[in-house]
Chain A
Amino acid sequence: QVQLVQSGAEVIKPGASVKVSCKTSGYIFTNYGISWVRQGPGQGLEWMGWISPNSGDTNYPQKFQDRITLTTDTVTTTAYMELRSLRSDDTAVYYCARAMLGDTFDHWGHGTLVAVSS
């Protein structure tokens, strides 16, 4: 079955970076995109970007363009999200999701809590 298993919770100091991993299994990794979505405490869902494991192409919304890097490793079928220059309002649960056509996210990771605190 399709699974996306994310790395564990992190506590990060303001101004530092975090890199979250998303290990996939149960499907052909290069046949689907991976998107990242975050959810602040008590907040809604926010799309952070998309990557094609097949080509390495990425799409980022303007809000995160300067601070985010999405990568994949096709050997280990793992996706990564790096977010830099963290601020307190980046405290959120970060999800990876398998992306079908039209930004339909049919399978999700369990989420990784990133807490930004001094």
Chain B
Amino acid sequence: QSALTQPPSASGSPGQSVTISCTGTSSDVGGYNFVSWYQQYPGKAPKLIIYEVSQRPSGVPDRFSGSKSGNTASLTVSGLQAEDEADYYCSSYAGPKSCVFGTGTKVTVL
């Protein structure tokens, strides 16, 4: 199972929006509504910020939103804040013996 494709980097000024894509295949992203997004700060464990394509866990700001079209999922961070500077990873269920992560995107707040 190949990793999902994400852009290596994305950036925006405070208050702006940034959107990160996550491209897979019909065997993973396109085949299931189990796409998750994780935020990771350097030296820290990942944190779940979006699950089942567009659901936010309790405590995650509504500035974070997710969507999916075909084989590509997207994470949008609206009203960018300095604390949003981190690495972001998508993941998708891909069948009983396969969970696949994205390649990761470093978000920089300018």
Contacts and interface: CB of A to CB of B under 8 A. Distances in A.
Contacts, number: 66
Contact of A104 (B1, B48, B97): B48
A105 B89 contact: no
Given A100-B51, A103-B99, A44 B3 contact: yes
Interface string A21-59: 000000000000001010000001111001000000001
Nearest to A57: B96
A75 interface: no
A105 B97 contact: no
A84 interface: no
A8 interface: no
Interface of A: 35, 37, 44-47, 50, 59-62, 95, 100-111
Interface of B: 1, 3, 32-34, 36, 38, 45-48, 51-52, 57, 89, 91-93, 96-104
25 contacts: A37-B46, A44-B89, A44-B104, A45-B38, A46-B101, A47-B99, A47-B101, A50-B99, A60-B97, A61-B1, A61-B98, A95-B46, A100-B51, A102-B34, A102-B52, A103-B34, A104-B34, A104-B36, A104-B48, A105-B91, A106-B48, A106-B51, A107-B48, A108-B45, A111-B45
